[in-house]
Structure formats: C-alpha cells, structure tokens
Amino acid sequence: MALNKNGVLGWATLIMIIIGLGLIALGAFKYSEVAGYGFAAVGVGFFAIAWVFNALKGRV
C-alpha cells in the first residue's frame, strides 16, 4: 500500500478528527470539573490542526 503525500495528509486528518472527538467527549461526559474544559480545548485544537492538514492536501 503506497501512500503519497496527499494520502498521508488524508489519513492524518481522519485520525486527528477521531482523537479530537474523543477528547471532546471525555471533557463533556467523563470530567465534569475544570479538567473537562482542558480536554475540550485540546480537542478543539486537534480539530484546528486537522483542518490545516486538510487544507494542505493538493498543495504539498
């Protein structure tokens, strides 16, 4: 299975979206204290990085 640069960026985007959703879910459902806000903030950060990876597809 040979991956070019766009394939790698696509898989990285998908993985980061899944991890971001997991972190937001942890912040929303498991940790109801202040730590939940941190988990949710990091999850949103993962979404931002995944968005950048998606924007880079086709340009690298």
How far apart, in whole angstroms, are the C-alpha atoms of residue 35 and residue 52? 26
- Band of residue 5 on the pLDDT scale cut at 50, 70, 90: confident
Q: Where are the domains of the chain?
A: 5-56
> What is the model's pTM?
0.84
Residues 7-45: pLDDT tens digits? 888 999 999 999 999 999 999 998 888 888 999 999 999
pLDDT (0 to 100) of residue 31:
87
CA pseudo-torsion sign 38, 40, 41, 47: positive
- Band of residue 1 on the pLDDT scale cut at 50, 70, 90: low
- Band of residue 57 on the pLDDT scale cut at 50, 70, 90: confident
How far apart, in whole angstroms, are the C-alpha atoms of residue 42 and residue 27? 9
Tokens standing for 18?
């899944």
